[in-house]
Structure 1
Amino acid sequence: MAKAGKGLARAPAGRIINLKPEVSTEEVQGLLALAVGRPTATRIEEVCQMYQFLAGWDLFGYRIGGDVVGCIGIQLLSWREGMVRHISVAPEHRAQGIGRAMIGYVLRRFALTRLTAETNAEAVGFYRRCGFTATALPEPYPGVERFQCVWEVEGVGLTAS
């Protein structure tokens, strides 16, 4: 289990905003396309509709000045558990702590004790640096590696003997 807050470093000056009102903008759809495997206009529209209309699906962004440079979509699975459905940072703003800041934000905003994500080999290191544990999943397609990443507050769910 990960320690609460491990790896959640400070990002450049910016602020986290609710992106639901902006989900149909080109800027937000471009960020979502970075987080969707094999993105098409139809698939991006479907993802946008999930955030607009499904209960428990929230979309937040990281704004620097007037630009949204990152986004995180979360699905609340239960009272204190969530799943990262989409996360991306514009290429020119990566490796600055923005992704970690967005993870930290959703953990605090929803007081989560467990956060999961399914990701590829390219992004698994990011989740590990944020304090997640990663377990390889069966390959959905030949040569495609997927990982289940889990962040949990230590001691949650343990009972006294």
Structure 2
Amino acid sequence: MLIKFKSSYEKIAMGLLAYMPDEKNVKKLQQTIKKYEDDDRWQLYLWKEAEDIVGLVGVSLLENETYQLNHISVNPSFREEGIGKKMITCLKKIYKGNVVPSVQTTLFFVKCENEKGRE
């Protein structure tokens, strides 16, 4: 289930964000977390599976109630279980389907859309 980011989850969120190719540097990770904490247009969610936080998604408000998927990450131990797809599905419910990918998330987003179309 998706849960909203709280500062008490900062280390977990930074660990998950570090799996993103553009988020390897500690300073960059700190800047990204700060953006989610300080800017109301940026929202970060964590995915909880049983008692473990195993995934993360982050969106930002663009315009016309459209949200951009900026970050998506799943702990490597939990990959290939459909968690990323579940996170995107939940985001689309929260934001009424108005979610578009960023350059960094496009490949995964399109893959999820294609798999959904085959179901």
Tell me if TM exceeds 0.5: yes
Higher helix proportion: 2
Quote the Cα distance in structure 1 between the aligned partners of 2:80 and 2:49. Answer: 15
5+ residue gaps, structure 2, are 115-119
1:30 aligns with 2:11: no
Query: Scaled by the length of structure 1, what TM-score is found?
Result: 0.63
What is aligned with 1:100?
85
Q: Secondary structure at 2:22's aligned position in 1?
A: coil
What is aligned with 1:149?
none
What is aligned with 2:53?
68
Using the TM superposition, give the Cα deviation of residue 129 of structure 1 relative to its aligned residue in structure 2, in angstroms.
2.3
Q: Secondary structure at 1:49's aligned position in 2?
A: helix
RMSD value over aligned CA atoms?
2.0
What is aligned with 2:68?
83
What is aligned with 1:128?
110
The answer on whether the counterparts of 2:60 and 2:69 sit within 8 Å (CA) in structure 1 is yes
Higher strand proportion: 1
Using the TM superposition, give the Cα deviation of residue 35 of structure 1 relative to its aligned residue in structure 2, in angstroms.
1.7
Query: Scaled by the length of structure 2, what TM-score is found?
Result: 0.84
What one-letter code is carried by the residue in structure 1 that aligns with 2:100? Answer: L
What is aligned with 1:119?
104
Quote the Cα distance in structure 2 between the aligned partners of 1:131 and 1:78. Answer: 22
- Identity over aligned pairs, percent: 25
Deviation readout 1:51-99 (Å, 9 max, x if unpaired): 0001210011111222210000000112431111111000011111110
Q: Secondary structure at 2:62's aligned position in 1?
A: strand
Of structures 1 and 2, the one scoring higher in RCO (CA 8 A, sep 6+) is 1
In structure 2, which of residues 14, 19, 31 is the aligned counterpart of residue 46 of structure 1? 31
In structure 1, which of residues 56, 63, 82 is the aligned counterpart of residue 41 of structure 2? 56
The answer on whether the counterparts of 2:55 and 2:83 sit within 8 Å (CA) in structure 1 is yes
The alignment of Structure 1 onto Structure 2 pairs a total of residues equal to 114
Relative to 1, partners in 2 of residues 1:38 and 1:17: Cα closer, same or farther, differing over 3 Å? closer
The answer on whether the counterparts of 2:74 and 2:83 sit within 8 Å (CA) in structure 1 is yes
